[in-house]
Structure 1
Amino acid sequence: MTTTLFEAIQAASQRRSPDVLRTPLQPSVGLSRLLGCNVLLKAEHLQTTGSFKYRGASNKIRLLSPVERERGVVTASTGNHGHAVALAGRVAGVQVSVFAAKKTARSKLTAIRAHGADLHVIEGGELEAELSARDEADRSGRCYISPYNDMDVMAGQGTLGIELAEAGHRLDAVFVSVGGGGLIGGIGTALSHLSPSTQIIGCWPENSPVLLRALETGFIHDVPESETISDGTAGALEPGTVTLPVCAEVIDQYVTVSEDLIMSAMWALADHEHWMVEGAAGVALAGLAALKAEMEGKTVAVILCGRNIGADIFASAIALRPQAPFTKTNKK
């Protein structure tokens, strides 16, 4: 499966539209000193629409048939994917309908509307929004674009892995936050072919480890969740998602992190790099902090997957006292 997916990732990379950016892989002197390893930050929060989701959305829209383009598409999203599909559709002249859970961040819903998409806010959680979107797609005969359960979307996300391999660094590990698994599945597939010695580390909030529990048991099932600042990785998964076998093959190590550590990571990125990132990006850096001892002296990449967070939520998160290891400076 991953060989076929890798070929799709290569095709997505070769044919991507000019508005899909090659984001920088930037060294962080401050975080490297704090964490005892060479930290490289993949600044995907600088991607078009403010998250990695534009890679997958634009690839899927590009691959639509003329009939599918004419009919329009339907998607479900906690925000970033819907935002990305809305813009990719607008650029390509494809009408987009987005179904979102009521609890989706207001700033993300505003961004979706701004790109001219039809927005449907659904009572219930992310899975209810996905099921409603699929029902509407079936009823109307339109293409449904899943945030993760779609090989074309995962192939688009995998272009980020190609960029990591081409950056010229020998990476010992890459830390990726995990929701539905499309991002880490794509990155892991690309690097398994281009840099097989690089460890792929999946990072989850302790409060929402849905795909992790599926990987542990081998099947998708209901998992109790608590509120998390990493809203981009939260929510239930569709049964039979294509990401499960891919992630089982490419993820080398799992780590879960507390809400305090996620918010400390967000604080550290603001303090050292002056970047405002969302909770899901904080999860990846928190994962590195949790495995600090294992990563000592190594060169690691941390995927900063998005920046779409309300200023009030971000301010509240970084107002809390940072947690070790982000409280120390080992200055020489």
Structure 2
Amino acid sequence: MEVSKFQDLPTQILQAHQRINPYIRKTPLEYSPSLTSLGNGSDVFIKLESEQMTGSFKVRGAFNKILLIAGRGPKSRQKGLITASSGNHGLACLAACKKSGIPLKVYCQKNVDSGKRKTLEDRGATVVLYGEDCVDAELEARRVAKHTGVEYISPYNDYDIIAGQGTISVEILEQLPEVDVILVSVGGGGLIGGIARYAKQVKPTIKIVGCSPEKSKVMHESVKAKKLIFEESFDTLSDGTAGSVEDNSVTFELCRDYVDEWMLVTEEQIGKALVYMMQTHHKIVEGSAGVSLGAFMSNPEKFKGQKVVIVSCGSNISVSTLQDLLNKYL
């Protein structure tokens, strides 16, 4: 990451906060008596990005990036945009593109969730299926964008996207200034990178915990190795965080330098967390949200006596997956 960009990110996050504020929801920070009772003196809150526009935090980064592009003038809008997504980023970009009058093409890996694909197509996006992994779709989308001269919007490997996601941290610190720990699910690292960079700038004592599914833990293993590495990913309930990370991603240094601790979560822990949210909070959340929730639920003693915020990052999950989980864990 360029030094200037690295240092300026907190300022960019504040600017993004002002820019996107008219277009997104300030999501609730909900106190959880049931999770608090697990934590032996901790106070636990859930940041409900699962109730954000389009059903995930991704809309923050998408609006920040696409509003900046739209502001360049009509030529930028007419060309259209290309992105790659397992679903949530594509839905977010589509919402921002519709608001800005920009056509969008979305590249997805072949095994993308069928419900997310249908939603993208129903709402007007052109969907192209490519590759077995999300990084295959990303690389193809970048290649096509370069060949055609259309701008590519990365799901995470972009300062403007990271700045948009970091606005969650602005809200958390406004809603609960005394927060001690924030748990965040990690895929490409854009969400936790933005949250961690701003939170550490404002409150250096805050602890940021990165949570990954055991079956897809690329950033977790890369930070351990002190460089971005290839780590095979397997099918996981947390499809929103699954897959490889682009080489030279700007998120790596943010994760390496600003995330204090890493936790791995099993598929059972993710599934039980989703059912738990339905039972106790009457909220439907997706697998990626279950990662951060499951991390806390499986290790509540780690957070004794602290004020904890768990970021529930999305709610886009298929009915069939929900039915399977309810049959299994109820």
Unaligned 5+ residue runs, structure 2? none
Contact 2:187 2:242 in 1 (8 A): yes
Q: Distance in 1 between matches of 2:217 and 2:236?
A: 11
Residue type at the aligned position of 1:81: H
Question: How much does 1:70 deviate?
Answer: 2.2
Asked if residue 235 in structure 1 is aligned to residue 243 in structure 2, the reply is yes
Counterpart for residue 58 of structure 1: 63
Following the alignment from structure 1 to structure 2, what is the Cα–Cα distance between the partners of residues 321 and 111? 28
Counterparts of 2:326 and 2:193, CA distance in 1: 30
> Could you tell me the TM-score, scaled by structure 2's length?
0.95
Match of 1:175 in 2: 183
1:79 touches 1:105 (CA, 8 Å); kept in 2?
yes
The gaps in structure 1 that reach 5 residues or longer are 323-332
State the number of aligned residues.
322
Partner SS, residue 232 of structure 1? helix
Query: Take 2:326 and 2:290, find their aligned partners in 1: how far apart are those partners?
Result: 11
Q: What is the alpha-carbon distance in structure 1 between the residues aligned to residue 284 and residue 124 of structure 2? A: 26
Establish whether residue 158 from structure 1 lines up as the match of residue 198 from structure 2: no
Q: What is the percent sequence identity of the aligned residues?
A: 37
After the TM superposition, which residues 191-270 of structure 1 pair with which residues of structure 2 at under 5 Å, given as runs?
A: 191-270=199-278
Q: Quick one: which of 45, 48, 61 aligns to 2:50?
A: 45
What secondary structure does 1:179 align onto?
A: coil
Aligned-partner SS, 1:320:
helix
> Is 1:266–1:318's contact at 8 Å kept on the other side of the alignment?
no
Aligned with residue 16 of structure 1, among 17, 20, 28: 20
State the alpha-carbon separation in 1 of the partners of residues 269 and 132 from structure 2: 28
Query: 1:1-332 to 2 correspondence within 5 Å?
Result: 1=3, 2-36=6-40, 37-64=42-69, 65-66=72-73, 67-321=75-329
CA contact (8 A) 1:73 1:142 kept: yes
Question: CA-to-partner distance for each residue in 1:248-270, whole Å, 9 max, x for gaps?
Answer: 11101000011111111111111
Letter in 1 for 2:68: L
Q: Give, in whole Å, the separation in 2 of the partners of 1:200 and 1:120.
A: 36
Letter in 2 for 1:188: A
Shift of 1:217: 1.2
What is the root-mean-square deviation in Å for CA atoms of aligned residues?
1.3
- Runs of 4+ in structure 1 off by over 4 angstroms are none
Q: What TM-score do you get using the length of structure 1 for normalisation? A: 0.94
- Listed one character per residue, the Cα deviations across residues 140-192 of structure 1 (whole Å, up to 9, x for unaligned) are 10110000000100000000000001113411100000000000000001101
Contact 1:31 1:272 in 2 (8 A): no
Counterparts of 1:52 and 1:111, CA distance in 2: 17
